[in-house]
Amino acid sequence: MTTAAVEHGHGHGDGPGHDDDHDHHEVIYRETTDMRLLGFVLFLCSDVVLFSAFIFAYLYLRGTIDEWPPILNGHQLPRLDLPFAEFNSVVLFGSGVTMHHALENWKHGNKGRFDIFMGATILLGVMFLGGQAYEYSHAAIGGWSGSIFGASFFTLTGMHGFHVFCGVVYLAILWWQTKQNHYDQTHYFGLTAGTLYWHFVDVIWVALFFLFYIF
């Protein structure tokens, strides 16, 4: 083989060191991904601490009141609309299912089905926020400053709703990034993080639904 041919081969990554360089880059990528995943999990843990602090404060305040929901202006506050909350919960939990399928289809290269499930996830997230806004406008619990129950309900569910809103924006950005070829079947950490975040808001809502509608 001529020197020119050898140089040509090296220039196109066909030389003997090409596989070693590729393996080296893959190791670096995996290590970077592991660190980013750890950082994201720690971020979610910090959010768990935040919600836990508010939930324990709510439970403490509730334990100091004999009647629950409490009495406001001589009348006991009505319980929240359980059937509507159940419907809205199904919407949110359904979005968790569609997000799971979106990620799995991306892994297997089914971009058409990924688009369908990703779009459905975002749509269901928006529907949940719309349902929450509707409930806020019809809940007869005295407003945010009307009672301990109202303050606790609007604070905790509002904080969760803000997380859902951020999640919808995040997923929309991820969807746009897939159109710009930022990810492929082997490198898709952003989609993994988005899926973890969306499952996180699902789990938090389970706790809030139990606290305010069942317990």
pLDDT tens digits for range 43-100: 999 999 999 999 999 999 888 877 777 766 666 777 888 999 999 999 999 999 999 9
% residues pLDDT > 70 (the chain): 80
Q: What are the helix (H) ranges across the chain?
A: 3-11, 18-63, 82-107, 111-138, 148-179, 189-209
* Structural domain contains residue 186: yes
The SS3 call for residue 160 is: helix
Provide the residue range defining the domain that includes 194.
17-214
> Mean pLDDT over all residues of the chain?
85
Q: Which of 130, 126, 109, 127 is nearest to 168 (CA)?
A: 126
% residues pLDDT > 90 (the chain): 63
* Structural domain contains residue 3: no
The predicted model scores a pTM of 0.83
Establish whether the linkage from the previous residue to 69 is cis, with ω within 30° of 0.
yes
pLDDT at position 1 is: 40
* Number of compact structural domains in the chain: 1
What CATH number has the domain bearing residue 45?
1.20.120.80
pLDDT at position 5 is: 40
pLDDT greater than 50 at residue 115 = yes
Token pair for 33: 């991904």
pLDDT at position 100 is: 97
Of residues 198 and 25, the one with the higher pLDDT is 198
8: number of Cβ within 10 Å: 13
pLDDT greater than 90 at residue 13 = no
* Structural domain contains residue 208: yes
User: What are the residues whose beta carbons fall under 8 Å from the beta carbon of 159, sequence distance 6 or more?
Assistant: 50, 51, 54
d(CA 80, CA 32): 46
